[in-house]
């Protein structure tokens, strides 16, 4: 469950579309995503990738751990894309800060530090996915697209 009591799969929106000139309602999913990334270049690339996913929207971003926890609790996103190395603190600090206050938010780690100990620690803190920036960027996009489908 997420901040408003809905899971990613339960948060829906309805859009009117035209089929053979007649309006129809199409059932689509809405996924609110928060980015925790200190690199402006990578954050921009993530935002572009997420704009291409129907129903996905970026509801905020942060560059440091404490700022991220406060902003995530305020924005109530469905998912968080989280870097481990931040300007202030680290991604593990963010996951610890969210553990009790936003227990249901889906956290996906995207990092340049994909070592097995980091993967295990992220999993123990509740990360739903762990992706290497250098080789799994598109896999993260596919995972988030599947959540929005």
Identify the burial level of 82 via C-beta atoms within 10 angstroms of its C-beta, where 0-12 means exposed, 13-18 middle and 19 or more buried: buried
Tokens found for residue 9: 């799969």
pLDDT, residue 103, reads 67
Res 115: pLDDT: 96
Q: Taking 50 as the threshold, does the pLDDT of residue 11 lie above it?
A: no
Is residue 113 predicted with pLDDT exceeding 60? yes
pLDDT tens sequence across 66-89: 999 999 999 999 999 999 999 999
pLDDT digits (tens, 9 = 90+) for 120-148: 999 999 999 999 999 999 999 999 998 87
Encode burial over 12-37: b for 16+ CB neighbours within 10 A, e otherwise: eeeeeeeeeeeeeeeeebbbbbbbbb
Quote the pLDDT of residue 28: 54
pLDDT in tens, 19-55: 444 444 444 568 999 999 999 999 999 999 999 999 8
Domain range annotation of the chain: 8-148
In the predicted model, what is the mean pLDDT of residues 104-118? 95
pLDDT, averaged across the chain: 84
CATH class of 8-148: alpha beta
């Amino acid at each position: 469950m997420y901040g408003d009591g809905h899971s990613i799969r339960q948060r829906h929106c309805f859009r009117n579309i035209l089929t053979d000139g007649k309006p129809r309602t199409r059932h689509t999913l809405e996924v609110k995503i928060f980015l925790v990334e200190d690199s402006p270049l990578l954050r921009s690339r993530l935002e572009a990738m997420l704009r291409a996913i129907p129903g996905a929207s970026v509801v905020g971003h942060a560059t440091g751990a404490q700022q991220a926890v406060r902003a995530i609790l305020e924005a109530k996103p469905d998912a968080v894309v989280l870097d481990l190395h931040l300007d202030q603190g680290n991604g593990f600090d963010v996951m610890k800060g969210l553990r009790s206050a936003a227990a249901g938010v889906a956290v996906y780690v995207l990092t340049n530090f994909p070592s097995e100990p980091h993967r295990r620690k992220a999993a123990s803190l509740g990360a739903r996915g762990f992706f290497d920036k250098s080789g799994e960027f598109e896999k993260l996009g596919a995972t988030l697209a599947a959540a929005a489908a």
